[in-house]
């Protein structure tokens, strides 16, 4: 399929294994892991930044939005997987502020009038879909600066949807259902395996001359099955190993030296 190498090479595989440079040679979904590694390394900074939600949060939000806009303008806004740290890293700052202010957010949302909540929902959905709306028939926006603004709106819309989920009932209750929670816990496994599966299915379907409408339902079912297998055999054991290592380190630190 277009955008994927026809042959593997050592440099590309090394980038994918070490998450160096621009990972994603063998599986383009790996490009996000580079930023997640940086998040882990910079976690203390995000904790300090988001730890005091009620103190100066409007200024923090403005700062994050400015960084997002600069990062989007540097671009390329039409290829988010190639956008640099000025766009990718501030997104984690939004998540940090939301995490630390979760209880306060829920308290305040529960006291907002319904009309205002509906307006916030509309803003969130429009922001999240703004990039695609900009390319809708008859609405095409050719200016790179405006396209960059839609990328900022997407990040803001996603953050606002997350904020709205803090309100008890409704959307929050839906996100707590068994099916959605299952998808949430397996989402990372699904993210990692979906592209290789889609590429293989696309190549096989193309070779067999099968239309996409016949292939997609089967691919979805296979993806969900493989996701569960990947989660049980790889992701869940990795989580248990990480917790075990953390407990061992904590026990050593808490044990007095003799």
Domain residue ranges in the chain: 42-168, 177-258
Whole-prediction pTM value?
A: 0.75
pLDDT tens figures, 143-155:
777 888 889 999 9
Report the SS3 class of residue 24.
Answer: coil
pLDDT 10s digits, 154-194: 999 999 999 999 888 878 888 889 999 999 999 989 988 88
Is pLDDT at 39 greater than 80 in this prediction? yes
Listed range (83-87, 119-123, 207-211) with the worst mean pLDDT: 207-211
Q: What is the pLDDT of residues 209-251, one digit of tens each?
A: 888 778 888 889 999 999 999 999 999 998 899 888 878 887 7
Dist. CA 231–CA 226, nearest whole Å: 8
Residue 1 burial (C-beta neighbours within 10 Å; 0-12, 13-18, 19+): exposed
* Dist CA 60 CA 53 (whole Å): 9
Q: Is residue 64 classed as helix, strand or coil in its secondary structure? A: helix
Q: Give residue 195's pLDDT band: very low, low, confident or very high (50, 70, 90).
A: confident
The C-alpha atoms of residue 255 and residue 238 are separated, in whole angstroms, by 26
Euclidean distance between CA atoms 165 and 213, whole angstroms:
33
Q: Contact 206/40 with Cβ under 8 angstroms?
A: no
């Amino acid at each position: 399929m277009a955008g994927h190498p026809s042959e593997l090479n050592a440099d590309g595989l090394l980038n994918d294994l070490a998450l160096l440079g621009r990972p994603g040679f063998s599986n383009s979904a790996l490009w996000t892991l580079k930023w997640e590694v940086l998040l882990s390394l910079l976690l203390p900074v995000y904790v300090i930044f988001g730890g005091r939600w009620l103190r100066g949060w409007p200024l923090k939000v403005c700062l994050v939005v400015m960084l997002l806009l600069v990062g989007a303008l540097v671009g390329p806004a039409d290829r988010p997987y190639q956008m640099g740290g000025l766009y990718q890293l501030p997104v984690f700052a939004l998540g940090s502020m939301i995490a630390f202010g979760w209880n306060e957010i829920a308290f305040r949302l529960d006291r907002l009038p319904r009309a205002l909540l509906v307006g916030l929902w509309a803003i969130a959905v429009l922001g999240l879909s703004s990039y695609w709306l900009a390319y809708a028939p008859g609405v095409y926006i050719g200016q790179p600066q405006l396209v960059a603004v839609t990328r900022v709106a997407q990040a803001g819309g996603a953050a606002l949807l997350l904020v709205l989920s803090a309100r008890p009932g409704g959307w929050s209750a839906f996100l707590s259902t068994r099916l959605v929670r299952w998808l949430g816990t397996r989402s990372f496994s699904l993210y990692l395996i979906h592209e290789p599966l889609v590429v293989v299915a696309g190549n096989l379907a193309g070779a067999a001359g099968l239309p996409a409408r016949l292939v997609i339902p089967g691919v979805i079912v296979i993806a969900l099955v493989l996701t569960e297998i990947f989660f049980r055999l790889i992701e869940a054991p990795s989580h248990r190993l990480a917790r075990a290592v953390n407990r061992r380190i904590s026990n050593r630190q808490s044990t007095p030296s003799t």
